[in-house]
Chains A and B, each alone.
Chain A
Amino acid sequence: MADLLFWIAGGIAAIAAVLSFYRVIAGPSAADRAVGLDGMTIIAISFIAFLAVVSGRVIYVDVALVYGLVSFLGVIAVARYLERGL
């Protein structure tokens, strides 16, 4: 029963990831695509936490932490590139 609730939450998060991927495809400018990608990475952190619950392994929470770190650095790099070049 509780597992079913987490599956529902993970399904909703997956739909949200698909919706923000639409912004990555359709965004008129490069900054729009970066915004969509930023939203996708935050949703992916939650989704990795959902995977940790379903599989019962705490190591996936560490994976989510490292993924958040890498995506943060990536977004900062894209912002700096858009502002004045690398």
Chain B
Amino acid sequence: MNIAALIGGVVSIAGAVFLLLAALGLVRMPDIYNRMQAGTKATTLGSILFLIGVAIANPGWSPRIALLILFVVFTNPISSHALIRAAHFSGIPPAQKTVKDDLADRPAAGGPS
């Protein structure tokens, strides 16, 4: 029995559980900002764990997996930040329980362009 493949499978299952929790947050959170919070952080961690599990099970694939992990870490926060900023400036209100909105008194960034 291959021990490395077993460890990789267990790590991958942990990552998949994080992905499932992120999707659950996407379904159950009250407004778009909370949904993005759940859907970005947890999916980043989940996909990193999943890919690390794949790399443990197949050590020869490690360079490509490392490149993919680096790519996910760099692009996922950027895309979610741009998306949620666009949602805020297009006028979607936050949930009733929100206590602080630092961007409330600013007009749309950049103006017309």
Contact = CB atoms under 8 A, between A and B. Distances in A.
Contacts of B60: 58
Interface in B1-53: 1-2, 5-6, 8-10, 12-13, 15-17, 19-20, 22-24, 26-27, 32, 35-36, 39-40, 43-44, 46-47, 50-51, 53
Contacts of A84: 108, 110, 112-113
A23 B50 CA distance: 23
The residue among A19, A68, A78 with the most chain B CB atoms within 10 A of its own CB is: A19
Interface of A is mostly: helix
Contacts, number: 190
Contact of A17 (B23, B76, B83): B23
The residue among B58, B72, B78, B83 with the most chain A CB atoms within 10 A of its own CB is: B83
Contacts of B95: none
Contacts of A61: 54, 61, 64-65, 68
A46 B24 CA distance: 17
Contact of B71 (A15, A20, A65, A80): A65
Chain B's interface size range is 35 or more
Chain A's interface size range is 35 or more
B90 interface: yes
Given A19-B23, A36-B26, A31 B86 contact: yes
Interface in B86-104: 86-87, 89-90, 92
Interface of A: 1-6, 8-10, 12-13, 15-20, 22-23, 29, 31-32, 34-36, 38-39, 42-43, 45-46, 49-50, 52-53, 58, 61-62, 64-65, 68-69, 72, 75-76, 78-84
Top 5 A-B residue pairs of the complex, sorted by shortest distance between their CB atoms: A5-B9, A2-B5, A19-B23, A31-B87, A12-B16
8 contacts: A12-B16, A12-B17, A12-B19, A12-B20, A15-B23, A38-B39, A39-B23, A78-B83
